[in-house]
Chains A and B, each alone.
Chain A
Amino acid sequence: QSVLTQPPSVSAAPGQKVTISCSGGSSNIGGNYVSWYQQLPGTAPKLLIYDNNKRPSGIPARFSGSRSGTSATLAIIGLQPGDEADYYCGTWDSGLTSLWVFGGGTRLTVL
């Protein structure tokens, strides 16, 4: 029921690349910057990507973001066991009473 649609789960082997998609509409992703958050098990979320493709200080370059039209993508290369977490996209939405919207979250499993 989330405004932004993410796959419930993705998986890949260590060292491989994985992508997580986030699909929305013109009132959210299509007109606003997208952020990505990583939530490791039992911890608070952490900002991973902001303004579609920028990384806060301390976030490895293995993590990258992109946006095209009304969709956004998070890519992780060189997967590590420590990347196993839930990942959420988020952005402002100008078309709803809920002004910030999150995707439903994607569970990444490192095989």
Chain B
Amino acid sequence: EVQLVQSGGGLVKPGESLRLSCAASGFSIVDAWMSWVRQAPGKGLEWVGRIKSKAAGGTTDFAAPVTGRFTISRDDSKNMLYLQMNSLKTEDTAVYYCTKLAAPGGWGQGILVTVSS
């Protein structure tokens, strides 16, 4: 069974950085295309970015609002996924989910990131 457990959220000031972690079990993260999705308070889902499987090159792609500020990485030995968020803005405030969008699918529990002065 796919399980994703997230950690690392919190309150930060605009311009600061934060790293989210996602511990995977039930599958090997190296073989999966993994994404980060966020949901601003009271809003819909917004795709943030993804990392391809190692076999597909392991490259990353990002949505326009976070390109150049966010990076995604993976520690295959620990089966962990990370989202490094730099130069945070107030509009980045949201619940962030790590997810395996492809079937059978899997979502982390979500973690709140609040960017406020």
Chain A residues in contact with chain B, CB under 8 A? 2, 35, 37, 39, 44-47, 50-51, 54, 56-57, 86, 88, 90, 96-105
Contact = CB atoms under 8 A, between A and B. Distances in A.
B105 A97 contact: no
Interface stretch (B9-17, B45-53, B75-83, B85-93): B45-53
A51 B103 contact: yes
B47 A101 contact: yes
Nearest to A105: B44
Contacts, number: 61
Contacts of A88: 44-45
B97 interface: yes
Contact of B105 (A39, A47, A96, A101): A47
B70 interface: no
B45 A45 contact: yes
B64 interface: yes
